């Protein structure tokens, strides 16, 4: 399976899990489902997904960002550090009400990955 196919399959899985968990009001289950799926992948595919997660960190979609941050922290995905730094900078400039809390979370993740 090509990297493009792996990314597409991951995205489709995320869309399904996100919809199912929101419909069942179990949004906290989505990261766990994603984590189990991530762990089931061979290393080469995980590296492809690591790049997807780094992209999701900078997404305007809060659900994707939340799930990506969880997986990056949970699986110690150090390749996401540059994207985490960009997000930290972006949040530092943001006037959104929750930005400072999300920035603090990102800083904890960065510290854990160092």
* Confidence bin at 27 (pLDDT 50/70/90): low
User: What's the whole-number mean pLDDT along residues 53-73?
Assistant: 91
Number of domains in the chain: 1
Distance CA 14, CA 9 (A): 9
Computed on alpha carbons and rounded to an integer, the radius of gyration of the chain in Å comes to 14
Long-range CB contacts (within 8 A, 24+) of 98-106: 105/69, 106/69
The runs of H, that is alpha helices, within 1-98 are 3-23, 29-40, 43-57, 62-74, 81-93
Provide the token pair at 53: 């997660």
pTM score: 0.87
Domain that holds residue 38: 3-113
């Amino acid at each position: 399976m090509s990297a493009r196919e792996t990314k597409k399959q991951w995205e489709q899985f995320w869309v399904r899990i996100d919809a199912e968990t929101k419909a069942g009001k179990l949004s906290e289950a989505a990261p766990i489902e994603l984590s189990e799926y991530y762990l089931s992948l061979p290393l080469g595919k995980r590296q492809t997904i690591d790049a997807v997660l780094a992209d999701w960190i900078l997404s305007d979609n809060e659900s994707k960002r939340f799930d990506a941050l969880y997986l990056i922290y949970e699986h110690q995905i150090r390749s996401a550090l540059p994207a985490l730094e960009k997000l930290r900078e972006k949040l530092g400039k943001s006037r959104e009400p929750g930005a400072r809390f999300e920035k603090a979370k990102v800083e904890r993740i960065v510290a854990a990955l160092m």
